Structure 1
């Protein structure tokens, strides 16, 4: 088992090396050994899964533990909860059939029944009698009906997704890693480490515009709503149908681009490398940026002046998202802050909560790139682990949803669209990349989508067409569009739709049950006294630490 962990760590370090801009000869040699290490890992896992082993392939022991935790959880998911009244009724019937009643007890029961009938005439109706009243409904009965309806809806949704088909389109043009994507109508806008922002027309899979102007890698994008674009267009004497895109870069600039012309209409110098941004559509509108040093800043959409600068996090801000007047920021060290926009000219952001890595449980992440997606009182967090973390941001309570049936899975991004939660998963052991779909709000696993030679997915965007079909775009080493095909059509899909039975058995866990497993992926390799492991791999241990991906982007 120790060698398995060492191989997993080396593969993780190789994946982090591959997204660096420049590589030394030593690093290239390590990358060339990836296939060899994966083959050796597969052999060891096969040996561990033999009949002499009880835990099976590495990770199965943890999976069975997680399964037991879910089954014993006091608050099971709706689909796991059989109707209480039916169980109660069945138990009574089975007991009545299994145990014959003696004659003396029958006479005694007849007497008690007569006494009971006399009491009914003088005593008020009990709760059980109320439930029998056909003119009224028992709350337990209503709850049972609601659970049955939810389970039926989930079963129907799962069946429809199992039959879904997608066509793939590769958008070729970037010559480096795609770090961010956003969808605007039928357009996809992508930002890359090659310093460019590109605009793509999805129906024809063609590049429309190449927006060059940044001198550093593009790290983040955001699309203001149409009504705020209209205000800016009026001030610039452009068409009121003009759409704008915001791009942030390691060159310390936020640029505002007009999509129709491809021109940069405004550039904001932030004095810090911009690593995350979002647009807050409240009052006159605000641009919120995060920096590589942990600073969160607010900028007026009306005047483009700085309204506020706060040293909010200890490490780089890697994700910022808005939800109404609320702003959520996540950082490389695993902390999450929740802000309220008070719509003022000075200091509009008021800190509501800050949850450190000790609370979120995201300590010592594999690549220090936290991605978040808020929904109501919950925030879904992806942090390079084999699961998704759920933070209840008002209370600090946490839970997690399994996103891979083995510990070699890496989750890089999470996204919501409609009633779906979509997360990426990359298997370090075999190099396979998938998209996992969950139904909301229960976070029940639906299906996984995979396709040949799918690279590690570092960013994701989603939207629906006028007919209600899904279109998604994934970014990383490739920029790929997934277009949902009509279910009634005869055309074959390019995407494989499958179900991972290991994820069915471990849907959601409370954090208290899994606290001991937090740092499963962040083991140390200090006992490696064999091969060149200790010397040649430990020099890049920091690269697999909290800021490796971000450093790659900012170079």
Structure 2
């Protein structure tokens, strides 16, 4: 197994090199050995499942998206909640509601035992129906071309997709036509994060700036230490906040008068008034870079690259609005050494941290469980997203270069299916939304910016994705105490002459995602 671990470590380090902005000649040579190392790894430890990557052109493959459907026609695909049981009307919505919340049996003394027996059977039936429907799912993919570097963040606003890139630009895309709508240039460093205030808060700022009441604004954070506020209709920066630190994460908190909360590469968390755009609070909250900030009602969650998670309460005060309720360090979460991405829901926070698992932190108690997101230790999870009763996570294998989106149903986190396509790139960021007619759409970013549009299962339109199932992801949630010995250890091996060959300037054996964050700030 020593040879296998060394090859896995080399491939992780090569992945780190590939996402650097500037490469030295010796680094390019190391990258050129990637396929050779993958072949050697496959010979020693063949991968049991997963489609082979066909030698196709990725851009040409997705440009054919308009061949089956006229460009001007909107997709008539149903949302996830509409594909549960084709042809059964309202039962689909009923099934979706049952999957969103635990089943509660009716109170009856005489029929209590029978009800308890029916509950597992009903849940199994609904889960089987979900799996069957997702195995038939079809998506049309649209490649949005325009960025010349890695896409680091994406979001959806109305009928628009907004993307931020390490090329320092923010771009706005019109989804129905898959065309660039606005190019927002103004940052001097890579764009690291985006956020969109709700319409009611946009209206307040528009009034102060004498703009239309229906103006929409977006926020962008950058390694140039600035947070910029952009007006989408005119494509201009209307306000800029200098934070004195490279901005690595931000979110808008829609409580009270509204707040912008930012995180820095040095671990600082800051709050900014939406009304006056002045600094309300600065806290040295984390030991390392803040990589994710998410809001859930009056609560704010921040995560850092050392694996620590802080939970804050917004007290809606003019000064020091954030009060820390809980702090769990990397020893508790088990997520140290990577780019930590958070997705809170209720009393749980789902965490992606550049490994083959998704960690789930019960933030009130500090208990941790994990969900298998890849069948191999060479798997990488870069992003995780919850929407419409679904948990959607990215999955990338550094051993063979295969990439996919994994789907799980909530709240039980049962595995449903994996979606991929030939030559799919590593997915570093993700957003999901529904159109006004209820159609389900996603956008993923990384090397490519791709819009996913769900197609009717019964239509003649050809989908661009392959739906597969990985039986290795069928395992239920596991408590952290039972699995910590299974954590990947290849980066802790002693370096030898072969390991120096692929080190690529990485001073510590951190995960691929952690290196991605450092490269982003160069």
Q: Which range, TM-score by smaller chain? A: 0.7 to 0.9
- Cα 1:539–1:477 change in 2 (3 A) is closer
1:542 is matched with 507
State whether structure 2 residue 521 is matched by structure 1 residue 554.
yes
CA-to-aligned-CA distance 1:384-430 (integer Å, 9 cap, x gap): 11010000000000000000111111000001111000000001111
- Whether the aligned pair in 2 keeps the contact of 1:361 and 1:518 (CA below 8 Å) is no
Q: What is the deviation of 1:235?
A: 1.1
Q: What is the deviation of 1:543?
A: 6.2
Map 1:59-208 to 2 at 5 A.
136-208=109-181
Query: What CA distance in whole angstroms lies between the structure 1 residues aligned with 2:509 and 2:456?
Result: 42
Map 1:248-287 to 2 at 5 A.
248-287=221-260
Q: What is the deviation of 1:488?
A: 2.1
Query: What CA distance in whole angstroms lies between the structure 2 residues aligned with 1:533 and 1:419?
Result: 46
CA-to-aligned-CA distance 1:11-31 (integer Å, 9 cap, x gap): 000001100000111110000
* Equivalent of 2:387 in 413, 417, 433: 417
User: What runs of 5+ residues in structure 1 fail to find an aligned partner?
Assistant: 50-77, 80-130
Secondary structure in 2 aligned to 1:542?
A: coil
Query: What CA distance in whole angstroms lies between the structure 1 residues aligned with 2:208 and 2:411?
Result: 41
RMSD over aligned CA atoms reads 1.7
Query: What CA distance in whole angstroms lies between the structure 2 residues aligned with 1:285 and 1:434?
Result: 36
- Whether the aligned pair in 2 keeps the contact of 1:407 and 1:521 (CA below 8 Å) is no
1:103 is matched with none
- Cα 1:151–1:466 change in 2 (3 A) is farther
Query: What CA distance in whole angstroms lies between the structure 1 residues aligned with 2:43 and 2:9?
Result: 16
Q: What is the deviation of 1:208?
A: 0.4
State whether structure 2 residue 484 is matched by structure 1 residue 520.
no
Q: What is the deviation of 1:523?
A: 3.2
- Whether the aligned pair in 2 keeps the contact of 1:16 and 1:544 (CA below 8 Å) is no
Q: What is the deviation of 1:258?
A: 0.4
Q: What is the deviation of 1:136?
A: 4.8
Q: What is the deviation of 1:550?
A: 1.5
2:34 is matched with 34
Which aligned segments of 4 or more residues in structure 1 are displaced greater than 4 angstroms? none
- Whether the aligned pair in 2 keeps the contact of 1:257 and 1:264 (CA below 8 Å) is yes
Query: What CA distance in whole angstroms lies between the structure 2 residues aligned with 1:165 and 1:428?
Result: 26
Query: What CA distance in whole angstroms lies between the structure 1 residues aligned with 2:241 and 2:210?
Result: 20
Secondary structure in 1 aligned to 2:344?
A: strand
Query: What CA distance in whole angstroms lies between the structure 2 residues aligned with 1:417 and 1:220?
Result: 20
2:351 is matched with 381
CA-to-aligned-CA distance 1:256-300 (integer Å, 9 cap, x gap): 000010010100000000000000000100000000000000000
2:407 is matched with 437
- Whether the aligned pair in 2 keeps the contact of 1:234 and 1:240 (CA below 8 Å) is yes
Map 1:120-519 to 2 at 5 A.
136-363=109-336, 365=337, 368-504=338-474, 506-519=475-488
- Whether the aligned pair in 1 keeps the contact of 2:289 and 2:305 (CA below 8 Å) is yes
Greater per-residue helix proportion: 1
Query: What CA distance in whole angstroms lies between the structure 2 residues aligned with 1:332 and 1:390?
Result: 16
Query: What CA distance in whole angstroms lies between the structure 1 residues aligned with 2:493 and 2:209?
Result: 56
1:4 is matched with 4
Secondary structure in 2 aligned to 1:266?
A: strand
State whether structure 2 residue 498 is matched by structure 1 residue 533.
yes
Secondary structure in 2 aligned to 1:398?
A: strand
Query: What CA distance in whole angstroms lies between the structure 2 residues aligned with 1:543 and 1:478?
Result: 28
- Whether the aligned pair in 2 keeps the contact of 1:179 and 1:218 (CA below 8 Å) is yes
Secondary structure in 2 aligned to 1:484?
A: strand
Q: What is the deviation of 1:538?
A: 4.1
Secondary structure in 2 aligned to 1:141?
A: helix
Query: What CA distance in whole angstroms lies between the structure 2 residues aligned with 1:311 and 1:519?
Result: 30
Q: What is the deviation of 1:441?
A: 0.2
- Whether the aligned pair in 2 keeps the contact of 1:294 and 1:331 (CA below 8 Å) is yes
CA-to-aligned-CA distance 1:178-227 (integer Å, 9 cap, x gap): 00000111100000000000000011000000000000000000001111
Query: What CA distance in whole angstroms lies between the structure 2 residues aligned with 1:375 and 1:535?
Result: 42
Query: What CA distance in whole angstroms lies between the structure 2 residues aligned with 1:386 and 1:223?
Result: 30
TM-score relative to the length of structure 2:
0.86
- Whether the aligned pair in 2 keeps the contact of 1:276 and 1:291 (CA below 8 Å) is yes
